[in-house]
Amino acid sequence: MRIKQHPIIDDYGKGAQISFTLDGKPMVGYEGDSIAAALHAAGIMTHRYTAKRHTPRGVFCCIGRCTDCVMIVNGQPNVRTCITPLEEGMEVQTQYGVVNREQWEADHQ
Please give the residue ranges that form the binding site for another protein (CB under 8 A). Answer: 1-9, 12, 14, 33-34, 37, 40-41, 45-47, 50-53, 55-68, 70, 78, 82-83, 85
Cα 48 from Cα 72, distance rounded (Å): 9
CB of 89 to another protein, least distance (A): 20
Which is nearest to 39 in space by CA: 51, 52, 57, 55? 57
Tell me how far, at minimum, the Cβ of 61 lies from another protein, in Å: 5
For another protein, the closer CB: 63 or 106:
63
Q: At its nearest, how many Å lie between another protein and the CB of residue 103?
A: 19
Radius of gyration (Cα) for the chain, nearest Å? 15
